[in-house]
């Protein structure tokens, strides 16, 4: 939720189909595991208060959904279409700049897109400090974009995303930084 609905980090919601609800249990079980009541009440008790965590991020979700949806005509449907279009356009700009092809068809992209980046040498598991290329992009350009290895394919990928606060110029800036450093 913090990325797509602009809520505080740590906020999320869980949607479970009604016919699957009794199969789902929380990772940490609190006082609700011994509660006697309806299935819905037991579910609410088990998931509703897992310890002493601050519930503020969760309490922000409904208003954040409402607020973001009110920013544009057409609400969330328009936001999702706009973000998908921007992610696809950004992916195209970057792929063209670094001479690569999209790894998946457009139909598999929502508001996040992965792009293979040329890699030299051995590609190993990600180090604790993160990928050196990620660090270079951040240190030199203040670009924060995930760079992750795909060891079995002996390559690396970047993952871009699009949200209401992003603009096409940011993808051009990233494309230029990639082109100059790969």
Model pLDDT for residues 164-173, shown as the tens digit of each residue: 999 999 999 9
Separation CA 56–CA 139 (nearest Å): 33
Q: Do 159 and 111 form a contact (C-beta atoms < 8 A)? A: no
Query: What is the side-by-side strand order in the sheet with 155-161?
Result: 112-117, 155-161, 147-150
Tokens encoding 44 = 């609410």
Q: What is the pLDDT of residue 78?
A: 97
Structural domains in the chain, sorted by start: 18-69 (no CATH), 75-181 (3.90.1150.170)
Q: What pTM does this model have?
A: 0.76
What are the tens digits of pLDDT across the range 37-96?
888 888 887 877 666 677 888 889 999 999 999 999 999 999 999 999 999 999 999 999
Distance CA 131, CA 147 (A): 6
User: Which residue in the block uniquely carries the two structure tokens 């797509």?
Assistant: 4
What's the pLDDT score for residue 170? 98
Count how many residues are written for the chain: 182
Q: Which helix or strand (DSSP H or E) is residue 144 part of?
A: none
3-class secondary structure, 150: strand
pLDDT tens digits for range 111-142? 999 999 988 767 776 676 778 889 999 999 99
């Amino acid at each position: 939720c913090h990325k797509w609905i602009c809520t505080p980090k740590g906020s999320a919601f869980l949607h479970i189909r009604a016919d699957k609800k009794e199969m789902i249990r929380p990772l940490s079980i609190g006082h609700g595991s011994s509660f006697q009541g309806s299935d819905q009440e037991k579910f609410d008790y088990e998931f509703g208060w897992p310890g002493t965590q601050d519930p503020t991020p969760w309490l922000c979700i409904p208003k954040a959904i409402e607020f973001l949806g009110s920013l544009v005509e057409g609400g969330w449907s328009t936001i999702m279409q706009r973000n998908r279009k921007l992610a696809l356009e950004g992916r195209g700009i970057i792929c063209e700049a670094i001479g690569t092809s999209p790894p998946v068809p457009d139909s598999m992209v929502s508001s996040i897109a992965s792009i293979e980046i040329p890699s030299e040498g051995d590609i190993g598991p990600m180090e604790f400090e993160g990928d050196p290329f990620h660090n270079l992009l951040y240190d030199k350009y203040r670009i924060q974009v995930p760079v992750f290895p795909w060891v079995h394919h002996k390559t690396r990928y970047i993952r871009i995303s699009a949200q209401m606060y992003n603009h096409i110029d940011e993808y051009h800036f990233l494309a230029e930084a990639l082109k100059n450093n790969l």
